[in-house]
Amino acid sequence: MAKSKSKDRTLAIDIGGSGIKAMVLDRKGRPLGDRVRVQTPQPATPEALLRAIADLAEQAGACDQVSVGFPGVVRHGIVSTAVNLHPNWVEFDLASTLSESLGQPVRVANDADIQGFGAISGQGVELVITLGTGFGTALFVDGKLVPNLEGGHHPFRKKQTYEQQLGRAALEKVGTKKWNKRLKKAICKLQHLFNADRIYLGGGEAKKVDCELPKNVSIVPNINGLLGGIALWNL
């Protein structure tokens, strides 16, 4: 990613499996307006999402540049995986297509990575876990991102991945109590792997966390998925 200074108005967009959120930020990443949201269209094809984003961008107001958090692996603006959206996303050039449709420069990163930028202190090993439709992970070392970690699709327990055990579908199936028990186990296992100084729990379902957390684990607001977007222009 080329170095550049942030401009006056950055439109931050957070694409999720159930909702797409947007908000305009100032140079320092502070909100300049209200958050706007629409439901993620189903089927969540590139065309349907791009239409929804164009609507949201209009509601959010004028901007000079755009940051997008995408729920999958993204390299140089091109999508590699999108397990909770539509198969047509694979190989889709989201940055260029959106830039053409919005008429502004666009940078795209993984949604958990952006949540992380909004949450971390920049010191030591920091792990961010997002709880929503999927199970997102982001790892930072002294503020430097290890991009596209994708821990959610790694084996966790009972021959299932973290996402299969802790994604929204699992939460709805097993209920909050059991999900919290699983979450504790997941935190323990991930801590064993990364020995993180801090672990942050974000995402839309973090509000359902109701268990005693280790001292180095905290819950962060889901708005970080938008606020962290400014970091893509300050890298």
List residues near ligand BGC by CB under 6 A: 71-73, 81, 83-84, 110-112, 130, 132, 134, 136, 150, 152, 163
Is 162 in a helix, a strand, or coil?
A: helix
Owner of token pair 């140079």: 27
Q: Return the closest-CA partner of residue 68 out of 17, 43, 105.
A: 105
Lookup: tokens for 84: 């909770």
Distance CA 13, CA 175 (A): 30
> Considering beta carbons, is residue 71 or 77 the nearer one to ligand BGC?
71
Minimal distance in Å, beta carbon 137 to ligand BGC? Answer: 7
**Residue of closest CB approach to ligand BGC:** 134
Is the preceding peptide bond at 43 cis, omega within 30 degrees of 0? yes
Minimal distance in Å, beta carbon 112 to ligand BGC? Answer: 4
> Considering beta carbons, is residue 63 or 225 the nearer one to ligand BGC?
225
> Considering beta carbons, is residue 63 or 98 the nearer one to ligand BGC?
98
Minimal distance in Å, beta carbon 60 to ligand BGC? Answer: 21
Q: What is the DSSP letter of 215?
A: T
> Considering beta carbons, is residue 8 or 155 the nearer one to ligand BGC?
155
Minimal distance in Å, beta carbon 134 to ligand BGC? Answer: 2
Which residues are within 8 A (CB) of 179 and not within 5 positions of it... i.e. 6 or more apart?
166, 170, 171, 208
> Considering beta carbons, is residue 6 or 205 the nearer one to ligand BGC?
205
